[in-house]
Amino acid sequence: MKELTKEEHHVIREGGTEARFSGKYVNNHEAGMYTCRACGATLFSSDAKFDSGTGWPSFTDPAVAENVGTRSDDTLGMRRTEVFCKNCNGHLGHVFEDGPAEKGGKRYCINSVCLDFEKKD
């Protein structure tokens, strides 16, 4: 496990959320793989990333389905589906049913602080 900053710990270990449009990967358009900041597990590919306009990196599906889990989240008076890293149980964000229809309709809305990026050569 990597040492986390205070903000990374708050989001990954306490289920927090970073501020909209504040994350370093919101506008990243380079080719590569997004990995878990806490443990390094491969999570999402840049091929599945799209601009949702929400202020967080959004993906249509995980790159390695075995590394990404979902569970019910009833916090903040809302019913949502949390996305977490199955390798380290770290909170990543939430998944919604308003993604591109032609790609299955999912929008994995992920906090940048939960991710590292490995640029494709």
Report the percent of the chain where pLDDT is more than 90: 92
Report the percent of the chain where pLDDT is more than 70: 98
Average pLDDT score, the chain: 95
Catalytic residue set: 109
pTM (2 d.p.): 0.94
Q: What is the pLDDT of residues 2-41, one digit of tens each?
A: 689 999 999 999 999 999 999 999 999 999 999 999 999 9
Give the pLDDT confidence score for residue 1 in this predicted structure: 53
CATH topology of domain 6-119: 2.170.150
What contacts 41, CB < 8 A, 6 or more positions away? Answer: 35, 64, 67, 85, 86, 87, 88
Give the pLDDT confidence score for residue 104 in this predicted structure: 95
Give the pLDDT confidence score for residue 60 in this predicted structure: 98
* Residue written as token pair 């990543």: 92
Helix (H) or strand (E) holding 9, with range, is helix 6-14
